[in-house]
Structure formats: C-alpha cells, structure tokens
Amino acid sequence: MANVETKHETVLDAGTTRSRLARVYAEALLASSLKQSPNAADEVGTELTDFAKAVGESPGLGVFLGSPIVGKKARAALLATALAGRASISLRGLIAVLAKNNRLDLLRGIAQAYRALINERSGRVPVKITTAVPFTDEQKTKLTANLKDLLKQDPVLDVRVDPDLLGGLVIQVGDSVVDTSVRTRIQSLRTLLLDKGGSHGN
C-alpha cells in the first residue's frame, strides 16, 4: 500500500486562510456597496466596523453568534431583526451570508480587510503613530502634511499615546517602522554600555 502523506494545517496556515477568506468577503462587500452609490463604500465600512466592534465588546453576543447550539435559522432571524432599518442592504446581506456559513468569527478580519481596500481605492495609506504625549492640532496637521509629501499618498493617522516612550515618536507604515523614541535610545545606550563593560572585563 502506497504511503499517503497527510498535511496538517498549522496555526500560520489557518491564519493565512482566514485572512484570504476575510479579503474575499470584503471585496464582495465593496463591490455590493459601490453598486448602491459611489459614496456608499465609506458608509458601509463605518457600519461594518461599528458592528464588528459591538460584537467584540459584548462577550455574550459573541458567544451566542458563535455557538454551534444555536441553529442557523434562529441566528439569521435574530440578526435580521437587529439590523433591520439600522444597516445598509449590503451589510445585511454580508451578515446573512456569514451566519449561513458559520463565518461570523471573520467579522473583525473582514472589517480590517475592507478598510484596507477602501484605503487602496482612495489612494490613502494607514499610518500608526505612537507618541509620548498627545499631539496638538497644529502638530497633527504638520505631521500629516510631511507624511503626505514623503509617501505621495494621503496618510490616515492612527495615533496612540504611550507615556513610557518618554519622548519622540514611533511611526509604522506597513512593515516599515521608524522609531525616534527616547525610550529606544536609552535602551540602545544601555545595551552599548553593557557590551563595552563586558568586553573590558575579558
């Protein structure tokens, strides 16, 4: 009997598969929203983000939606009632399909993929910024303008405050990170001093 090699899906593979599925659903949602009107895409994106956030912040709701005990029809009926008059046709259609296929756990990933698609379509680029102290409006405006000149795209800033940085900024665009924080410089100096101290001791 010939040997049959069984390939087990790793955690990484599973994550990649989920990301691809989320992207497919996001692309379908975008296509559907654009059929409504050119301006509907952003509105649907906001609806999706808000809904995914609400599910994520409500453990009871998340458990209910993901429970295998709850029948598909009951789950779909509840969602349809909850979203009636409160969500676009496109979003209601997406939620119905996800409920039917037991894929409501992809909501957060779909929301992230949808935002990425909207940014790509609009020539925008997400920029994560961590700062030691909150920006003033003037500082934020100047930083946005500088990033726009540098990236040749409209930056969408996601600003977070982390006092532990002590000063400076950490800017992340995609996989690229620019770290000018005081904390990092202190850590680098400490490492350098320790290395030198160790070499002198030899």
pLDDT single digits (tens) 151-185? 888 898 889 999 888 888 899 988 888 888 888 88
Work out the average pLDDT over 120-146. 89
DSSP state letter for 86: T
Query: pTM for the whole thing?
Result: 0.62
**CATH number of the domain that residue 17 is part of:** 1.10.520.20
**Per-residue pLDDT, 109:** 93
Q: Are residues 133 and 111 in the same domain?
A: no
- State which of 96, 119, 142 marks the end of a domain: 119
Asked if residue 25 and residue 97 are part of one domain, the reply reads yes
Judge whether 47 lies within some domain.
yes
Q: How many structural domains compose the chain?
A: 2
Residue 142: give the domain boundaries: 125-201
| Claim to verify: residue 95 and residue 115 sit in the same structural domain | yes
Same domain, 47 and 15: yes
Q: What is the mean pLDDT of the chain?
A: 82
DSSP assignment of 150-200: HHSSEEEEEEEE-GGG-SSEEEEETTEEEE--HHHHHHHHHHHHHHHHHHH
Q: Which helix (H) or strand (E) holds 40?
A: helix 40-57
Q: What are phi and psi of 129, to 5 degrees?
A: -125, 130
Whether residue 7 has pLDDT greater than 50: no
Distance CA 107, CA 47 (A): 12
- Cα 200 from chain centroid (whole Å): 47
Task: Give SS3 for 130.
Answer: strand
